[in-house]
Structure 1
Amino acid sequence: MENKDKQPLIIISGPTAVGKTSSSIKLAKAINGSIISADSMQVYKGMDIGTAKITKEEMEGVKHYLIDCLDPKDEFNVMVFKEMALKAIEEIRHEGKIPIVVGGTGFYVQALLYDVEFTKTEDDNSEYRNSLYEYAKTYGNEALHAKLDEVDKESAASIHANNVKRVARALEYFHQTGELFSKHNETQKQRTSPFNYVYFVLNDDRDALYERIDKRVDKMFLDGLVSEVEKLAKMGYTKDLVSMQGIGYKEILDYLDGKYSLEEAKEIIKRDTRRFAKRQLTWFRREKDCLWVDIGKLDYDFSRIIDFMMLEIKNRELI
C-alpha cells in the first residue's frame, strides 16, 4: 500500500518541557486536527499539577483524547495505550479530522506507529514476577533496575527505575524466552507502519531545556503540588501504585513521610526530571524517520515552527 493510501497521522514528541503542548494546539487549529495524548501520566484524573497537564483554557477548543480518563489505581501500560489510541484515531477520522499524537513517552508512540505486537507474559500472579516485586520492596526499585541493567542495558536505559512493573516485565520476558526485551522491541520496530505519518521531535539546547525544566518545577510548587499529593494520599492513593511512582509524586510522598525537607524534594524532582529528559532524547535519537525541530533556534516563534511543520505535512500528502 502506498503511503498516500494509508491513514494520516502526525506525531509531535520530544523531551519534557520543550514546548509540545503549545506547538500541538497551534498545529491542530491550522489543520482541523484533534490531539491524542501519548503521556503515561496525564491519563490519570486528579493528577494535574505534577504532570503539567494541559488545562481546558490551554486546549483552546481543540478536542483531546487520553487525558483525565483513568483513576490513579487503574492499570495503564503500552498495550492499554495502543488500544485506546487506535479507538481515538478511528473516532477522529470519523469526524473528518486529522489525528495528532502528542507526548514524550516514546515507547508508546513506537507501539502505535509501527503496530507493535506485545508478547503477554504470564498472568499477574506469576510466581517469578511476584518475586521481582518482592525484591524491589525489600531492596529498593534501583536494585531491581540494576538487575535489568545487568542483562539488558538498552531496556534499562529506556525504563525508569520507579516503573517497577515495566522493569519486572522486561526481566520476566528475558527469564521466559532467553531473548532481550529490547531486541524484541527492535524487531517489532522493523514492521511497516500502517500510517502515512510525519514524526516531529522538538528539541532545544540542553542548558535552555534544563532551565525550562527547573522553572516548570518551581511553578508546580507555586501552583500547589504538595496540596495535590496530600489530597491524593488522603484518598488512599499510595506509593505502591505505578501512578504515584511518577516524578513529582513519589518525592512529595517521601517529603510528607519526613524523608526529605521540602527544598530537598524540589531539588530531587528537578534532578530526576532532567535525567528523564536525557533518557527521552536517547530514545528519540534511536528512532528512524524522525524530523528534528530545534525550536530554540527558531526562538520559540510558533508561527515559524508551524510553517516548518506544515511544509512537511503537505510534502507527505497528509492533508
Structure 2
Amino acid sequence: MDSNQKLLVIIGPTAVGKTNLSIEMAKRYNGEIISGDSMQIYRGMDIGTAKITKEEMQGIPHHLIDIKDPEENFSVAEFQLLVRAKINEIAKRGKFPIIVGGTGLYVQSVIYDYQFSDVPGDETLRKELEERAKGIGNEALYKELQKIDPENATQIHPNNVRRVIRALEIFQLTGKTMKEFQSNQQPDLLYETALVGLTMDREMLYDRINRRVDLMIEQGLLDEVKSLFQKGLRECQSIQAIGYKEIYDFLDGKMTWDDTVEQLKQNSRRYAKRQMTWFRNKMDVQWFDMTDVNNLSKKIGEISQYVEGKLQVKSNTY
C-alpha cells in the first residue's frame, strides 16, 4: 500500500446527497469514483439500490458497480482486495480516486489496515454451525450471535447466514467479539485520506428518504423485485437488501402493499440512523451539514477547501 497515495472518501446516510457531491469532486480533481456500497455491486438491482444512472455519471468513470449476479455472495474481504487494486489502477492513470458510499464496514476495511485473514477459518466448526442453522433456523442462530456480540449483530441481517456463521466462528476461535478482535489490531490509515461525511437535519433527511422510496416505486421497483422473485432467488445475500426483502414479503402474501411501502420507508430511515451511528463511532470524519439545500455551491466550496488543505491537491478550473 502506498501511504502517500491521496484518497477522498465521501460517506453519509442514504439520500443525503453523496452522489451529487462526488460528481462535483471528480470534475474538480480529475477523479474517478469507486462505489462503497455493498449492494450496488449486483446486476439488475438498480432502482432499489439507488444506483447512479449513465446520465448522472456525466462521463465520470465509476467502478465496482454491476460486478456480480444477484445469486453470488460478496464478502468484506473481497471488497477490500478489489477496491485497493482499483485505487492503485486509478492512480497509475494519473487520476484521483474517490470512494463514495454508505456501507461503513466496507469503506472502513479499505482505508484502515484490517487483516480479515488473521483469524483462519475452521472447516469443521463452520460445517457444524451450518448444520445448526439448518436444524434450529436462521433466526435462532442469529439470536446466539446477538447474545455474545450484540454490536456486530446489528451490522448483519438474520438471514445472512454466512456472515452470522463467520462472526460466531471468530468468537469461538478467538474468544473475542469482532470489536475486540479489531481493537487489538490497532489499524492505521493506509492512504493519505480526506474523510468527508455528509449530514443533514434528521426530519429533512427522513422526508428525503420517504420521497426517494415513492420515486423508486414510480420508477418500477415492484417489477424489478418481481423479476428476481420469479427467478426463484431466495436465500441470497442480495435479497436481504432494503427494498427487496420487504417486497418479497408482499409477493409472498405476508403484507398488504400499503404496509409494504410503509415498512420500506421505516426500514430505510432506521438504516440511515444506523449508518450515522457507525460513521460517528468508527471513523475520524470531517462532517459537513447539507441541510441548506439552497446554498449547495457554498457548501461544495467549503468541502473543496477542506480537501485541498488536507491533501494538498489543486482543483481544475471548469
TM-score, normalized by length of structure 1?
A: 0.91
* Residue among 108, 127, 147 paired with 2:106: 108
On the 8 A contact 2:104/2:278 being kept in 1, the answer is yes
Contact 1:149 1:156 in 2 (8 A): yes
Write the distance in 1 (CA, Å) between the matches of 2:48 and 2:68: 16
Match of 1:161 in 2: 158
Query: Is the Cα–Cα contact under 8 Å of residues 162 and 246 in structure 1 kept in the other structure?
Result: no
1:267 aligns with 2:265: no
1:257 is aligned to 2:248: no
- Secondary structure of residue in 2 paired with 1:10: strand
- 2:142 corresponds to which of 142, 145, 156: 145
Q: Secondary structure at the match of 1:213?
A: helix
Q: How far did 1:123 drift?
A: 4.5
Secondary structure of the residue that 1:198 maps to in structure 2? strand
Query: How much does 1:134 deviate?
Result: 2.1
- Identify which of 238, 247, 264 aligns with 1:243: 238
Q: Deviations over 1:146-192 (max 9, x none)?
A: 3222111221233343433222221221122211112112333x222
Q: Cα gap change, 1:300/1:130 in structure 2, threshold over 3 Å: closer, same or farther?
A: farther
- Per the TM alignment, residue 86 of structure 1 is displaced from its structure 2 partner at its CA by 1.1
Partner SS, residue 53 of structure 1:
coil
- What is the CA–CA distance in structure 1 between the aligned matches of 2:289 and 2:68, rounded to whole Å? 33
TM-aligned CA deviation for residue 106 of structure 1: 0.6
Q: TM-score, normalised by structure 2?
A: 0.92
Can you give the 5+ residue segments of structure 2 that lack an aligned partner in the other structure? 314-318
Query: Is residue 16 of structure 1 aligned with residue 11 of structure 2?
Result: no
Residue 291 of structure 2 is aligned to residue 293 of structure 1? no
* Deviation of the 1:301 alpha carbon: 3.3
Deviation of 1:318 after TM superposition, in Å, equals 4.2
Q: Would you say the 8 A contact 2:73–2:236 is kept in 1?
A: no
> Residue 225 of structure 1 corresponds to which residue in structure 2?
221
Structure 1 residues 187 and 104: alpha-carbon distance in aligned structure 2, compared to 1, 3 A threshold = farther
Cα distance change of structure 1 residues 291 and 34 upon mapping to structure 2, 3 Å threshold: same
- CA distance in 2 between counterparts of 1:46 and 1:107 reads 24
The question of 1:279 aligning with 2:274 is answered: yes
Please, which of 74, 88, 91 is the counterpart of residue 90 of structure 1? 88
Deviation digits for residues 195-231 of structure 1, max 9, x if unmatched? 0001111111111111111111111111111100111
Alignment counterpart, residue 307 of structure 1, candidates 301, 306, 315: 301
Cα displacement (A) at 1:124 = 9.6
2:207 partner amino acid = E
Worse-matched range after superposition: 303-312 or 90-99: 303-312
2:159 & 2:294 partners in 1: Cα distance? 32
Over 3 Å counting, the alpha-carbon distance change for 1:222 and 1:132 in structure 2 is farther
Give the aligned partner of residue 56 of structure 1.
54
2:316 corresponding residue in structure 1: none
* Structure 2 equivalent of residue 127 of structure 1: 127
User: Is contact 1:17–1:213 with CA below 8 Å preserved after alignment?
Assistant: yes
Task: Name the CA distance, whole Å, in 2 between partners of 1:203 and 1:124.
Answer: 45
Q: Deviations over 1:51-94 (max 9, x none)?
A: 11110000011100001111112221111111110121111111
- Residues 1:173 and 2:143 aligned together: no
Q: How many correspondences in the alignment?
A: 311
Structure 1 runs not aligned, ≥5 long? none
- Structure 1 counterpart SS, 2:181: helix
Measured in 2, the distance between the counterparts of 1:120 and 1:227 equals: 42
CA offsets per residue over residues 231-269 of structure 1, 9 Å max, x none? 122333x22001011111111111111111111111111
